[in-house]
Homo-oligomer: A and B are copies of this chain.
Amino acid sequence: MKLKEFAKKVGLSPTTVSRALSGYPEVSETTRARVAEAAMRLGYSPNVNAVRLKTGRAGAIGVVMGRAGEFHFAEFMAGMAERLVAEETDILVIPMADPNHEDEMQLYRRLVESRRVDAIIVHSPKPNDERIALLHELGMPFLVHGRSAIDVPHAWLDIDNEAAIKRATSHLIDLGHRRIAMINGRPGATYALHRDSGYRMALQSHGIEPDAQLIANGNFTDELGFRFARSFLEQPNPPTAFVAGSMMTALGVYRAVRSLGMQIGRDVSVIAHDDVFPYLTADNMVPSLSATRSSMRAAGTRCADLVLQLLSGRSPLEIHELWPVELILRESTGPARPSSP
């Protein structure tokens, strides 16, 4: 039943009905109760439209947004939106405060029970991610953006972080670099572990022992990139190259190198991971930035597509996509200079 039709049956204007059902304060409690009763009796749903009632679908995909990483999140969502725009399916963003384990589980549980989403996309999974176990147990369709080693069947899409960073680090070694710093993301997430692993594998396969003094973890901001790079470069035995976790981190590294009177691509080489932001491009940095590249937006589009497939009955077990990552060389990488004695 449409709003107009229902309003006619109740003998009120659609505006009043609408206001009554959404708890708008201008409508009296009596009218609100009358409308609510009629809605119940006539089967008019105050909360979902007729199509959704019929299909049993909420018409939305849920994503939980923490405080960090909003710029990645925005690109991912823009990608999802590109796929969902023709599907009458929306994105329900659930705000989350600082991650506190129990609260987070509770939040996912409530989200499932509220029936406001048909599926959930889980971001930044950990190797043993309890959110995955919970969603599986509750029977909620879900897709993991990233990977988890947890022994619960789940659909996932990830990029090959390990191979990407291994390749980037190996390339720097091939250029003669031996002191290579690594500025990684926040510890704990699988992607950060994979990148760490790729970095170590490259070093060790060339007989170089990883040096804890050259490894840092933290949020992807230019502020942290700057601070880590400065402190590394001020060590007695500084790095000659950097692997940076994001474009923002790279901005900070560039600034730190410049602030010490050195030149990117000549004194210090940099390779960063580029999620392909429309507003900050590796090509446009000065000097242009060598990068491992994978579009966060494309991942969002594909994840939305895979969720729609899940909802159409495709088995989660069939949905395991590992995307290769390109390494694109530009001006920020060059041969290691012979070290002064």
Q: A341 near B: Cβ within 8 Å?
A: no
The reply to whether B46 and A56 contact each other, CB–CB distance below 8 Å, is yes
Interface stretch of the complex, out of A57-65, A144-152, A173-181: A57-65
A312 to B22, CA, bound (A): 11
Q: Which residue of B lies closest to A4 (CB)?
A: B113
Q: A38 near B: Cβ within 8 Å?
A: no
The reply to whether A21 and B251 contact each other, CB–CB distance below 8 Å, is no
Which chain A residues (82-117) contact chain B, with CB distance < 8 Å?
82, 84-86, 90-97, 110, 112-116
The reply to whether A90 and B91 contact each other, CB–CB distance below 8 Å, is no
The reply to whether B95 and A92 contact each other, CB–CB distance below 8 Å, is no
The reply to whether A47 and B53 contact each other, CB–CB distance below 8 Å, is yes
The reply to whether B279 and A248 contact each other, CB–CB distance below 8 Å, is yes
The reply to whether B222 and A24 contact each other, CB–CB distance below 8 Å, is no
For residue A248, give the distance in angstroms from its CB to the closest CB of chain B.
Answer: 4
CB < 8 Å neighbour of A139 from B15, B91, B114: B15
Query: How many residues belonging to A are interface residues under a CB distance threshold of 8 Å?
Result: 83
The reply to whether B78 and A115 contact each other, CB–CB distance below 8 Å, is no
The reply to whether B115 and A45 contact each other, CB–CB distance below 8 Å, is yes
Known: A22-B56, A110-B49, A141-B22. A78 touches B85 (CB 8 A): no
* Number of chain copies forming the complex: 2
The reply to whether B32 and A56 contact each other, CB–CB distance below 8 Å, is yes
The reply to whether A97 and B85 contact each other, CB–CB distance below 8 Å, is yes
The reply to whether B95 and A81 contact each other, CB–CB distance below 8 Å, is yes
The reply to whether A70 and B65 contact each other, CB–CB distance below 8 Å, is no
Q: A313 near B: Cβ within 8 Å?
A: yes
Q: A307 near B: Cβ within 8 Å?
A: no
A94 to B112, CA, bound (A): 20
Q: Which residue of B lies closest to A93 (CB)?
A: B91
CB < 8 Å neighbour of A279 from B24, B118, B220, B281: B220
For residue A153, give the distance in angstroms from its CB to the closest CB of chain B.
Answer: 12
The reply to whether B113 and A47 contact each other, CB–CB distance below 8 Å, is no
The reply to whether B222 and A279 contact each other, CB–CB distance below 8 Å, is yes
A260: B residues at CB distance < 8 A: none
The reply to whether B78 and A139 contact each other, CB–CB distance below 8 Å, is no
CB < 8 Å neighbour of A222 from B36, B67, B221, B284: B284
The reply to whether B255 and A284 contact each other, CB–CB distance below 8 Å, is yes
A138 to B13, CA, bound (A): 10
Q: A236 near B: Cβ within 8 Å?
A: no
Using A2-B113, A85-B96, A85-B97 as known contacts, list a sample of 11 further A-B pairs with CB atoms less than 8 Å apart, ordered by residue number in A: A22-B57, A23-B118, A46-B56, A47-B47, A65-B78, A67-B81, A70-B77, A70-B278, A77-B93, A248-B280, A251-B284
- 3 tightest A-B CB contacts, nearest first: A74-B74, A81-B95, A25-B313
A-B contact pairs, 16 of them (CB 8 A): A18-B139, A23-B118, A24-B141, A45-B47, A48-B116, A60-B92, A65-B78, A70-B74, A70-B77, A71-B71, A73-B74, A84-B95, A85-B97, A86-B97, A92-B92, A248-B280
**Using a CB–CB distance below 8 Å, which chain A residues touch chain B?**
2-3, 14-16, 18-25, 32, 36, 45-49, 52-53, 55-60, 65, 67, 70-71, 73-75, 77-78, 80-82, 84-86, 90-97, 110, 112-116, 118, 137-141, 220-223, 226, 248, 251-252, 255, 258, 277-281, 284, 286, 311-313
